[in-house]
Amino acid sequence: VLEKPLGHDLASATAISERIGAIFSESQVYRIDHYLGKETVQNLMALRFGNMLFEPLWRREWISDVQITVAEDGGVAGRGAFYDRTGALRDMVQNHLLQLLCIVAMEPPVSLDADAVRDEKLKVLRALEPLRGTEVQRNTVRGQYRAGAVDGQPVPGYREETGIPADSTTETFVALRAELESWRWSGVPFHLRTGKRLQQRLAEIVVNFRGVPHNLFEGMGAGPQPNRLVIRLQPDEGVRLYLMAKSRGNRMRLRPVYLDLDFAEAFKARQPDAYERLLMDVLRGSLTLFMRRDELAAAWEWVDPILQAWREAEDEPKPYTAGTWGPAASSALLGRNGSAWREES
């Protein structure tokens, strides 16, 4: 059973895999990513593949963009020395966010057997359009928090944290735009975002559908807003589907509403912790929720050129005040194609 970090780059990850592989077969190796053990992530698969409603719409013709956010309101929490060698891209994007992207974008597997699911996730990682050179500068934003306030309490900047050099250029925030070179998803941007000392602790997947082709309700209250599916992973787990409905009264006036599935309310049984679920899967010998060696390598193959481009550019991360949603450039990244982060729209 292996816990991240699984390497610092592709070369070190490959070295780890080779040493483990010299002793154990791949069917004996469990690489834990605790986000895959969260109830909502598994319910995303149930939502997609257990219902006829969503799967026919789960494609480029009906979806305008996808957002995946994992935000933390805390700082480095005494792990300054480790974090400064790692940064947000390695710590969160290479594993957690890319794994969530795989679950959202994967094709229906032929079964729920471990390799059937992991084969489809691998196809997603291999379909990621590479980001290199100037494309990295155009499609990524890296930031570092400065002193500010979270929940009304003052907090220090990253460079004032214990164990952090005063001239550190390690990123504590990453936002990026990714695209998949596949029949289902070509042209649909996937926006990934993660950071420390942000406005709130939040992990969610937002699927924005395209707008209606013709507005029949001009001048009748709020104009039709595109439907939106929000899958919340933390702090509370649930699913919300945003749509338009008629307000009560004699006139045809529309307003946005949502259908809400709160897992704590809908399922009264005790929910196991993500790590608890994954360790129980280890004891059962179930590999479905664990990364395979080729998945790990494919994720690093996509991330390594981004790290290299950042090193070559020698730009400092963009500063942002603790307690905000990160650098303004993060909003501009989405604004280029008429999108906005959910809290801004």
| Domain, as residue range, for 285 | 2-51+66-200+274-344
In a domain, 92, yes or no: yes
pTM metric for this prediction:
0.94
Instruction: Sort strands 31-32 and 238-246 into parallel, antiparallel or unpaired.
Output: unpaired
In a domain, 187, yes or no: yes
Q: Rounded CA gap, 120 and 118, in Å? A: 5
Whole-number pLDDT of residue 224 = 78
Q: List strand residue ranges (DSSP E) for 235-331, in order.
A: 238-246, 254-262, 318-321
Tokens found for residue 296: 């790990």
For residue 279, is it within any domain? yes
Amino acid letter, 166: A
Q: How far, in Å, CA of 86 to CA of 96, rounded?
A: 14
253 located within any domain: no
Domain count, the chain: 1
Angle between helices 98-105 and 114-127 (to 10 degrees): 100
Residue 252 falls inside a structural domain? no
Tokens representing residue 80 in the block: 């300054």
What are the two backbone dihedrals, phi and then psi, of residue 19, each rounded to the nearest 5 degrees? Answer: -70, -45
What are the phi and psi torsion angles at 290 (to 5°)? -120, 145
pLDDT of residue 198: 97
- Active site includes 34? no
The torsion region of residue 247 among left (phi > 0), alpha (psi -120 to 50) and beta comes to beta
Please indicate, yes or no, if residue 209 is contained in any of the structural domains: no
DSSP state of 180: B
Q: In which element (H, E) is residue 204 found? A: strand 202-209
Q: For 113-153, how does the pLDDT look when each residue is reduced to its tens digit (9 = 90+)?
A: 999 999 999 999 999 999 998 999 999 999 999 999 998 99
Catalytic residue among 8, 34, 96, 191: 96
Assess whether the previous peptide bond of 235 is cis (omega < 30° from 0). Answer: yes
> pLDDT truncated to tens, each residue of the chain (345 aa)?
999 889 999 999 999 999 999 999 999 999 999 889 888 888 889 889 999 989 899 999 999 999 999 999 999 878 888 899 999 999 999 999 999 999 999 999 999 999 999 999 999 999 999 999 899 999 999 999 999 999 899 999 999 998 899 999 999 999 999 999 999 999 999 999 999 999 999 999 999 999 888 888 777 666 778 999 999 998 888 899 999 888 888 788 888 899 998 877 777 777 778 899 999 999 999 999 999 999 999 999 999 999 999 999 988 999 999 999 999 999 999 998 889 999 988
CB 89 within 8 A of CB 304: no
- Could you write out the DSSP letters of every residue in 42-87? HHHHHHHHS-TTTGGG-STTTEEEEEEEEE-SS--TT-HHHHHHHH
For the stretch 48-82, pLDDT in tens is: 999 998 989 999 999 999 999 999 999 987 888 88
Domain membership flag for residue 126 = yes
pLDDT at 222: 62
CATH code, 137:
3.30.360.10
pLDDT of residue 220: 67
The predicted pLDDT at position 268 comes to 72
In a domain, 122, yes or no: yes
Q: 188 burial class (0-12, 13-18, 19+ CB within 10 angstroms)?
A: buried
What is the C-alpha to C-alpha distance for residues 111 and 116, in angstroms, rounded to an integer? 6
User: What is the pLDDT at residue 314?
Assistant: 81
**Six token digits for residue 177:** 């735009």
What's the pLDDT at 247? 81
